[in-house]
Amino acid sequence: MKTLKEIACGKTVKVKRLNGEGPVKRRIMDMGITKGIPVFVRKVAPLGDPIEITVRGYELSIRKADAEMIEVEE
């Protein structure tokens, strides 16, 4: 299973599952990232942190640690 952190720039993937608990999972869900939602990876910083994504028409920056908790399918 791939995580959002492993996805290359310019790809759109679908969220399969959110890992993590409590405040971490809540923070991810508050960004509009939920199961079944398409996520477009716009840009990844040179060291991989942060990852810039587009979700539901919003452009967001997400930390590498949070991206590891989002399982996706291409």
Contacts of 5 (CB under 8 A, 6+ apart): 48, 51, 64, 67, 68
HSE value, Cβ hemisphere, 13 Å, CA-based, for 56? 10
Q: Do the beta carbons of residue 2 and residue 57 sit within 8 Å? A: no
Q: Based on the structure, what is the number of domains in the chain?
A: 1
Contacts of 65 (CB under 8 A, 6+ apart): none
Structure confidence by residue, pLDDT tens digits, 17-31 = 999 889 989 999 999
**Containing structural domain, residue 55:** 2-73
Give the pLDDT of residue 36. 95
69 pLDDT band (50/70/90 cuts)? very high
1 pLDDT band (50/70/90 cuts)? confident
CATH of the domain at 27: 2.30.30.90
Structure confidence by residue, pLDDT tens digits, 12-65 = 999 999 998 899 899 999 999 999 999 999 999 888 789 999 999 999 999 999
